[in-house]
Amino acid sequence: LQTLYETLEGALAIVSGRRIADIDGFLAPLRLPAAGQHGIERRPGPGAPVEVSGAHETALDSMRREFALFAERRAGVFVEDKGQSFSVHYRQAPDAGPEVEALARRVLDPDGPIRTVRGKMVLDFKSAAADKGRAVEAFLSAPPFAGRRPVFAGDDVTDEDAFKVVNGCGGHSIRIGDVESIAESSARWACPDTAGFSAWLEGLADACAESGSGMSSSG
């Protein structure tokens, strides 16, 4: 990532459902442009402050409390509080999925400001005005991303919004995952697992370092 960031003259960003603080922790000491919580948080450059938009704390707090009480009673269900959004994980209790879905239908106002996004045994609750596609659009609207052909890779349902934006720009969208998830994706390209994508990314970085030439795409 460091090599690609330098080769692309800074046009490399992380777009995630996690907080930017969590992203920085995973990549430390590397700091990159980033969008966190599906774009609610955005940092246009490594040294820039984090911008927050589309937050609806009152509505989120009410739903967060409901799910926290549910998680206390249901083993294997975990609520991840991200501040301006939250996620309900049930990977350790797959049979709890219908109950989580039922509670979501009860507490979520379909006309309200909060949207739920279904991932891999997780429900994300966030502002309806934020998604990864909008986050990509925000990066592409300003230097050093503006005018470049975007490349975006992801392995979750929430990445589909970004795939559609990237496809619309004539870019390259890459879905990482099993055959079933890839078949249902709108991504142009596919990679079966994270190990394969990491190998591809490493090869790309090595090629860039050897050529010493700038690329016309951003990730």
pLDDT averaged over the chain? Answer: 89
Give 187-196's long-range contacts (Cβ < 8 A, gap of 24+): 187/160, 187/163, 188/163, 191/153, 194/155
Over residues 5-27, the mean pLDDT reads 94
Task: Determine the Cα–Cα distance for residues 19 and 37; give it in Å rounded to an integer.
Answer: 5
55-59, 65-69, 83-87, 138-142: least confident range: 55-59
High-pLDDT (> 70) share of the chain, %: 95
Residue 114, strand partner residues: 127
Query: 213 is written with which tokens?
Result: 């030439």
pLDDT in tens, 142-191: 999 999 999 999 998 889 999 999 999 999 999 999 877 777 899 999 99
Residue 151, strand partner residues: 172
- Reported pTM: 0.79
Band the pLDDT of 209: cuts 50, 70, 90. Answer: confident
Strands across the sheet containing 34-36? 14-15, 34-36, 41-43, 51-52
Over residues 188-200, the mean pLDDT reads 94
Instruction: Show Cβ contacts of residue 45 under 8 Å, excluding neighbours closer than 6 positions.
Output: 10, 33
Over residues 42-51, the mean pLDDT reads 93
pLDDT in tens, 83-99: 888 999 999 999 999 99
Band the pLDDT of 55: cuts 50, 70, 90. Answer: low
DSSP 3-state of 12: coil
**Cβ distance 19 to 4 under 8 Å?**
no
Find the angle CA(25)-CA(119)-CA(75) to the nearest 5 degrees.
85
50 secondary structure, DSSP code: P
Query: 1 is written with which tokens?
Result: 């990532």
**Cβ distance 90 to 71 under 8 Å?**
no
Q: For residue 214, what pLDDT is reported?
A: 43
Over residues 7-12, the mean pLDDT reads 94
pLDDT over 90 at 5, yes or no:
yes
58 secondary structure, DSSP code: H
**What are φ and ψ of residue 80, in 5° steps?**
-100, 110
11: nearest Cα among 208, 211, 210 = 208
